């Protein structure tokens, strides 16, 4: 018998996040182990009058291409990758979770070529999402790999996921609307701000955001959600930032990252572990050394860091920045084939200033 929380999550994703309408062509993609949510989502799409299509994938597919493929095969973009950008009105992507280490021993140069070859296609994908031409939501189904990474049993991790998505509540959509209303007051304030300064241990980073739109993120593109974000003016970022939590990209973990910026560009990138890989990725293209995002997490139903960026970037008590592609809807001009989120803990003395006024302290907004 299907878990009632899975059914509720499918309803939230299809009807609230994607707002599937009659005639919409809807792609639902995930690993084979996510079958119960895939099928529940199909049923909801059919009820809404859409046309569902399922794509089941295996992480070992990419691993084999990167390990055994020639350069021509590694950089080849297959028909499905193109169709994903061109052929659908809505996409529900269930992120990997059964084995997170399939790419952990891949040569960084091969990873760079793989990502670089998909840069233009990824830009198209991100731009279509930003413009609203494509409605997309990413979600996590509780699986063994992500549960182990979070140091939880699968049962405990399932409870963690469903609580973070608010489907443990009687009416999850109403809960997301409450968060929307709370965050709307914050973005209205920040839309009138010019200078943002983030200060915490090892961090003193300033940037300008005048004319950039702050986005209220409450379950439309990510599930779970809970953040306010924008893209800073590209050449305005100066200072240093240190990240308390590991940053994970394409299955590779980089620890204790420290970045230094001058006039927008990252001029120095250090890490205790994975420094070579960090610099490989930051050299993917011209935009990968610039900030595409600055954000504040607001989901206090996520109690701990779990090495899963979908959850970790939403953590209450944190801010995060992303290297690479910015958000067109916020006014960003930065384009890149990557968007790599990195998280800074703010709960012990962290402060955010807006035009020199303290607006956030110890992990909470005070405006």
Report pLDDT digits (tens) over 276-298.
Answer: 999 999 998 999 999 999 999 99
Longest dimension (CA), the chain: 57
Residue 211 and residue 132 in one domain = no
Residue 186 and residue 142 in one domain = no
| CATH for 130 | 3.40.1830.10
Residue 159 and residue 196 in one domain = no
Cα torsion at 227, 230, 231, 236 (round to 10°)?
-110
Residue 134 and residue 181 in one domain = no
pLDDT tens across 242-274, in order? 998 999 887 789 999 999 999 999 999 999 999
Residue 109 and residue 237 in one domain = no
| Residue where a domain stops, chosen among 146, 164, 182 | 164
Residue 141 and residue 285 in one domain = no
| Residue where a domain stops, chosen among 142, 164, 186 | 164
Res 122: pLDDT: 87
Whole-angstrom Cα distance, residue 291 to residue 123?
Answer: 15
Record the tokens describing residue 346, joined without a space.
């703010």
Residue 99 and residue 32 in one domain = yes
| Residue where a domain stops, chosen among 164, 189, 211 | 164
Res 265: pLDDT: 97
| Domain of 45, in residue numbers | 4-164
Q: How many residues does this entry show for the chain?
A: 367
Res 112: pLDDT: 83
Res 127: pLDDT: 85
Residue 155 and residue 241 in one domain = no
Going along the chain, which residue ranges are E strands?
Answer: 25-31, 51-57, 90-94, 135-139, 195-200, 203-208, 215-217, 222-223, 227-230, 238-242, 247-249, 252-254, 258-262, 265-270, 291-297, 318-324, 339-345, 351-354, 357-361, 364-365
Do residues 123 and 337 touch, judged by C-beta distance below 8 A?
A: yes
Please name the helix (run of DSSP H) or strand (run of DSSP E) that holds residue 63, with its range, or none.
helix 59-68
Whole-model pTM: value is 0.83
Res 1: pLDDT: 58
Whole-angstrom Cα distance, residue 134 to residue 90?
Answer: 6
Residue 255 and residue 309 in one domain = yes
Domain count, the chain: 2
Could you read off the pLDDT tens digit of each residue along the chain, which spans 367 residues?
568 999 999 999 999 999 999 999 999 999 999 999 999 999 999 999 999 999 998 878 888 999 999 999 999 999 989 999 999 999 999 988 777 778 777 887 888 889 889 888 988 898 899 888 999 999 999 999 999 999 999 999 999 999 999 999 999 999 999 999 999 999 999 999 999 999 999 999 999 999 999 999 999 999 999 999 999 999 999 999 999 899 988 778 999 999 999 999 999 999 999 999 999 999 989 999 999 999 999 999 998 999 999 999 999 999 999 999 999 899 999 999 889 999 999 988 999 999 999 999 999 999 8
Specify burial of residue 163 (Cβ count, 10 A radius: 0-12, 13-18, 19+).
Answer: middle
CA nearest 353: which of 140, 200, 230? 200
Residue 283 and residue 186 in one domain = yes
CA nearest 132: which of 291, 46, 15, 18? 18
């Amino acid at each position: 018998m299907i878990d009632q929380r899975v059914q509720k999550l499918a309803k939230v994703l299809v009807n609230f996040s994607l707002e599937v309408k009659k005639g919409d062509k809807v792609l639902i993609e995930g690993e084979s182990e996510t079958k119960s949510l895939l099928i529940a989502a199909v049923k909801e799409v059919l009820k809404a009058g859409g046309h569902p299509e399922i794509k089941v994938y295996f992480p070992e597919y990419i691993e084999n291409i990167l390990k055994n493929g020639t350069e021509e095969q590694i950089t080849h973009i297959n028909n499905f990758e193109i169709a994903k950008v061109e052929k659908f009105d809505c996409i529900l992507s269930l992120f990997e979770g059964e084995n997170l280490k399939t790419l952990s021993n891949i040569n960084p140069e091969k990873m760079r070529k793989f990502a670089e070859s998909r840069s233009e296609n990824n830009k198209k994908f991100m731009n279509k999402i930003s413009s609203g031409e494509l409605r997309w939501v990413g979600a996590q189904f509780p699986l063994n790999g992500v549960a182990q990474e979070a140091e939880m049993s699968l049962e405990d991790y399932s409870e963690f996921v469903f609580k973070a998505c608010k489907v443990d509540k009687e009416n999850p959509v109403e809960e997301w609307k409450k968060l929307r209303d709370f965050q709307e007051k914050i973005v209205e304030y920040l839309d009138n701000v010019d200078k943002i300064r983030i200060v915490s241990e090892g961090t003193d980073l300033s940037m300008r955001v005048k004319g950039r739109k702050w986005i209220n993120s409450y379950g439309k593109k990510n599930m779970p959600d809970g953040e306010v974000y924008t893209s800073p003016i590209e050449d305005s970022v100066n200072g240093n930032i240190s990240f308390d939590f590991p940053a994970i990209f394409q299955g590779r973990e980089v620890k204790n990252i420290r970045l230094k910026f001058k006039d927008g560009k990252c001029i120095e990138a250090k890490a205790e572990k994975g420094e070579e890989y960090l610099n490989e990725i930051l050299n993917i293209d011209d935009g990968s050394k610039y900030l595409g995002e600055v954000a504040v997490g607001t989901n206090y139903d996520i109690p701990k860091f779990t090495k899963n960026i979908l959850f970790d970037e939403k953590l209450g008590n944190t801010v995060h920045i992303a290297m690479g592609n910015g958000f067109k809807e916020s006014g960003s001009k930065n384009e890149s084939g990557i968007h790599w989120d990195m998280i800074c803990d703010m709960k012990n003395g962290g402060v955010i200033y807006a035009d020199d006024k303290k607006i956030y302290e110890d992990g909470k907004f005070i405006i």
